[in-house]
């Protein structure tokens, strides 16, 4: 079997999740190419060496440009904050490396456009790229898409989606890079709203046509962190401004005629990672909540009303998407499995010479939706999303 040398940039939360996926994918699935965890890259030499030891990488680099020059790297996995996605991904594609890039694709539409253009150009030469909207690979979500495509719920009328977290509900929670517009592009909107934009479009097979939204920053100033922090960290005495939204809400219409209601917030006290999606169609409904991620609820409106009701499908059977690679029926999967499935799909597409999904063009379209919500929040007008 041919090997595929991986170079991963970043080793915090996403870097660790991706490392686990690169390791586990060939152990549970028959992959056409074997991923080799060749290089882990980060700016702090000592910290990246320690991370490489822990996460299973053979060597380290402290400059991503050097990583791109290495012959033992055929795929670059970008797990850095959004402000460096465009520069790294475009350079990697131009260097002839396949690219997996974390979401949201970029911090601005202009960057995402440049990335999508670079990806299209590279694809002509057989170089593949994918954006990491990982939740598509949760079996219950992939099953929901299949049921919609199979016509099980008929014509989609309503799309209801929430992404609810509470990790900064405490006003004294320190300023993470995720609260800095220069680093992250936007706040709850891009970090978690991007997921529900992608997921609802993925499940329905439809696209958002226009939006009307509102962003809010409830806590305008926070303690700066003692050290660089991801989702947590210790507060210092110094304070700084929060430059992104804490929460985003928006209405949407889909091209196929469905109406959408979206909510993304980091202030939903008690909700930790609740991705709640409900789709109502002419023949039935689907409902999902990531906090119970192995379950998909399905209502078949064509059944006898006397016994009809929401059915609870435990998406852990070998017939369900991705599940056959894992455990016997009923042995639940978790957050990390989606990342493994992402690697399986990406490596398979590379080996088969196909463009994987979601593509950078898909990432650009999500970016356009996010930008339209932001514009609408200030203009107080509905905003159309270009096709």
* H-assigned helices in 280-383: 335-352, 360-379
Is residue 263 close enough to count as binding ligand SOE by CB under 6 A?
no
150 to 179, contacts with ligand SOE by CB under 6 A?
165
Residue nearer to ligand SOE on the CB measure, 5 or 193:
193
Buried b (16+ CB within 10 A) or exposed e, 172-187: ebbbbbbbbbebbbbb
Look at residue 208 and give its three-state secondary structure: strand
Q: How far is the CB of 9 from ligand SOE (least distance, A)?
A: 16
Is residue 191 close enough to count as binding ligand SOE by CB under 6 A?
yes
Residue nearer to ligand SOE on the CB measure, 1 or 231:
231
Pair 95, 61: CB distance under 8 Å = no
> Which residue in 179, 192, 252, 385 binds ligand SOE (CB under 6 A)?
192
Is residue 198 close enough to count as binding ligand SOE by CB under 6 A?
no
Measured N-to-C along each axis, helices 194-204 and 139-149 cross at an angle, to the nearest 10 degrees, of 40
Mask 267-306, x = binds ligand SOE (CB under 6 A)?
Answer: ------x---------------------------------
Residue nearer to ligand SOE on the CB measure, 327 or 335:
335
| 158, 163, 169, 171 alpha-carbon torsion, rounded to 10° | -100
| Cα-to-chain-centroid distance, residue 126 | 24
CA distance 77 to 80: 9
CA distance 369 to 211: 8
Is residue 17 close enough to count as binding ligand SOE by CB under 6 A?
no
List, edge to edge, every strand of the sheet that includes 247-254.
Answer: 311-314, 295-300, 284-289, 274-281, 156-164, 259-265, 247-254, 208-216, 383-384
Site size for ligand SOE (CB under 6 A) = 6
- Tallying the residues shown for the chain, one arrives at 387
Is residue 180 close enough to count as binding ligand SOE by CB under 6 A?
no
Residue nearer to ligand SOE on the CB measure, 81 or 284:
81
Residue nearer to ligand SOE on the CB measure, 231 or 324:
231
Is residue 242 close enough to count as binding ligand SOE by CB under 6 A?
no
Pair 45, 31: CB distance under 8 Å = no
Is residue 111 close enough to count as binding ligand SOE by CB under 6 A?
no
Q: How far is the CB of 23 from ligand SOE (least distance, A)?
A: 19
Residue nearer to ligand SOE on the CB measure, 80 or 165:
165
Residue nearer to ligand SOE on the CB measure, 84 or 273:
273
Residues that bind ligand SOE (CB under 6 A): 13, 165, 191-192, 231, 273
């Amino acid at each position: 079997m041919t090997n595929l040398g991986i170079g991963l940039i970043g080793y915090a939360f996403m870097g660790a999740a991706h490392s686990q996926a690169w390791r586990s994918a060939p152990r549970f699935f028959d992959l056409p190419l074997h991923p080799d965890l060749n290089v882990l890259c980060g700016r702090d030499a000592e910290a990246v060496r320690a991370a490489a030891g822990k996460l299973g990488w053979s060597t380290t680099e402290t400059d991503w440009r050097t990583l791109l020059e290495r012959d033992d790297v055929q795929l670059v996995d970008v797990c850095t904050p959004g402000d460096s996605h465009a520069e790294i991904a475009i350079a990697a594609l131009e260097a002839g490396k396949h690219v997996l890039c974390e979401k949201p694709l970029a911090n601005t539409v202009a960057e995402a456009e440049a990335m999508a253009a670079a990806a299209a150009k590279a694809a002509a030469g057989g170089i593949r790229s994918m954006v990491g909207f990982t939740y598509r690979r949760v079996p219950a979500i992939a099953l929901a898409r299949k049921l919609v495509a199979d016509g099980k719920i008929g014509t989609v009328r309503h799309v209801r989606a929430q992404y609810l977290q509470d990790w900064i509900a405490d006003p004294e929670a320190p300023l993470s890079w995720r609260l800095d517009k220069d680093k992250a592009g936007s706040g709850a909107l891009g970090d978690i709203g991007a997921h529900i934009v992608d997921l609802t479009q993925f499940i329905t097979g439809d696209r958002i046509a226009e939006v009307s939204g509102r962003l809010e920053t409830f806590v305008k100033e926070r303690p700066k962190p003692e050290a660089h922090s991801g989702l947590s960290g210790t507060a210092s005495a110094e304070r700084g401004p929060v430059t992104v939204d804490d929460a985003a809400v928006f209405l949407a219409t889909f091209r196929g005629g469905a109406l959408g209601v979206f909510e993304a917030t980091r202030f939903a006290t008690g909700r930790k990672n609740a991705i709640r999606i409900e789709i109502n169609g002419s023949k039935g409904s689907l409902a999902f909540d990531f906090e119970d991620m192995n379950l998909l609820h399905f209502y078949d409106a064509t059944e006898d009303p006397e016994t009809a009701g929401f059915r609870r499908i435990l998406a852990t059977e070998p017939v369900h998407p991705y599940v056959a690679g894992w455990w016997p029926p009923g042995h639940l999967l978790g957050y990390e499995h989606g990342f493994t499935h992402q690697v399986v799909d990406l490596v398979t597409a590379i080996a088969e010479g196909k463009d994987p999904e979601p593509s950078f063009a898909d990432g650009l379209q999500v970016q356009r939706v996010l930008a339209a919500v932001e514009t609408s929040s200030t203009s107080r007008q509905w905003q159309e999303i270009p096709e």
